[in-house]
Each structure stands twice: as C-alpha cells, then as structure tokens.
Amino acid sequence: METVAPFLWIALLAAVLAIPGLAFLLGTGRRHRQDRWRLRPVRRLIGLLLVALACVTALLAASVVQYVRLTTDAPVGTLAFSQNQPQQFVATLALNGREPRSYPLNGDAWQLDARVVRWRLPALLAGLPPIYRIERLSGRYEDPEQERTGARSVHDLREFPTPDIGSLKRRFGAWLRFVDVQYGSAAYLPMIDGARYRIFMDPRGALFARPDDARTEQLLREHGW
C-alpha cells in the first residue's frame, strides 16, 4: 500500500466522488414521473455537491504531484559554494530529479526552506506517508542588524503552477479535513568558499544538512561549527 503515490489515492477519491455526482446531476432515474419531478431538485443538489467536492479533491491531487514522499531519511540534493566577494557567493543547488542550477546569495549563511504535509484520519489508514516540497533558497547574515538592512537574496524553487495545498485547505477546510499542512521546515549552515553540503529530510519532516566531504567538515571546524 505504501508503494502507491499519495496523489493516486487522492485522484481515486476524486473519481469515486465524481461518478455518482455526475449520475445524480445528469441522470433522470426510473421512478414514477411525479416522484421523479419531486426528487429531481434534491438529486441535482446532491450531484452538484459531489461534483464540486470531486473538483476540489482533483485540485489537491494535482498539487500533491509536486511533493516527494517521506518514508526514511530522504536525500534532497546537494549544495556547493564558491565565493566572489566578501558576503557574496554563488550557490550550485542540485535537487533530486532536477538539473543543477546556480544562484547568487548574499550573507554569511544559506537557508533552504521546505513545506511538509502530514495527513490525518482517514488518510493515515490508507498508508499515506508525509510529503514535502522544497520552496526557496536564501542567504542570511549573522548580524541581526545587517540582516535587517543588508542586501537580500531569495530564490523561488517551486517549478509547477499547480494549486497550493495550504490555500486549498484554507478555502475548503470543511472538505479537506484529512490534510494537515505544516508550514515550515528549514536548514541553514555557513556559506564557505569550496564547501559542499548534502541535504536530507527526515520522516518527521525536518530538513537538515551534513558536510558532503572531509574538506567541508574541516572548513566548518575552522569557522566554529
């Protein structure tokens, strides 16, 4: 059951809702003509509600496609740095399934942010694991005053223009009670010339990073980490 992608379960639910909804909305039934006339508005209303719920569920399924399943510590990607000037770096980010890309970052440390989605009953009974999506990469300063006034650098890492799970839950919360959205998992470490990090997400939805080689471990020790 855990090998089935979460969006397939949600898409199946959308289909299960849509089929009877369309039947109620478009069907005429085989009752007596007078009874059919009396029940037709009720059938249409029930069908309309089921079709609307199926549409919301289909939007949720489309949004879940962007996310990655969590069952163990999941490797997210690697991050390497080269320094141009003081507090100015070029970060090369290689996320799993994507081509490496370079991003200019200002500051003393990097920060990678992700959104994690956990499920409530009855979705847990279907074996749906937590899922996550990497959302942004940014630079940060050690000095809070410089963080407030310094040059900011933030890069959006979302690739697909699909509906956001959080906005769907806020708008259709009464229908999507099995979705539990957690806003916020982030990892940050110093930006050092020549440093390389490997990034992971644990099963509880915590983003963390480790040095990717012995040289990076030595650089972190030299910088007091």
| Residues 201 and 92 grouped into a single domain | yes
Which domain does 85 fall in, by range? 69-222
| Residues 93 and 162 grouped into a single domain | yes
* Domain total in the chain: 2
The answer as to whether 216 is a domain residue is: yes
For residue range 179-194, what is the model confidence (pLDDT) as tens digits? 776 667 899 999 999 9
The answer as to whether 1 is a domain residue is: no
| Residues 146 and 187 grouped into a single domain | yes
List the beta bridge partners of residue 201. Answer: 74, 207
Percent of the chain whose pLDDT exceeds 70: 69
| Residues 78 and 36 grouped into a single domain | no
Q: Which of residues 15, 30, 64 is at a domain's end?
A: 64
For residue range 82-97, what is the model confidence (pLDDT) as tens digits? 999 999 999 999 998 8
The answer as to whether 116 is a domain residue is: yes
CA–CA distances in Å: residue 47 to residues 11, 12, 29, 32, 43: 18, 18, 13, 20, 6
Q: With bands split at pLDDT 50, 70 and 90, how would you rate the model's confidence at 37? A: very low
pLDDT of residue 222: 93
Q: CB of 181 within 8 A of CB of 165?
A: yes
Q: Which of residues 47, 64, 81 is at a domain's end?
A: 64
The answer as to whether 133 is a domain residue is: yes
Q: How far is CA 173 from the centre of its chain?
A: 18
CA–CA distances in Å: residue 147 to residues 87, 111, 186: 12, 13, 17
| Residues 34 and 54 grouped into a single domain | yes
Cα end-to-end distance, the chain, whole Å: 42
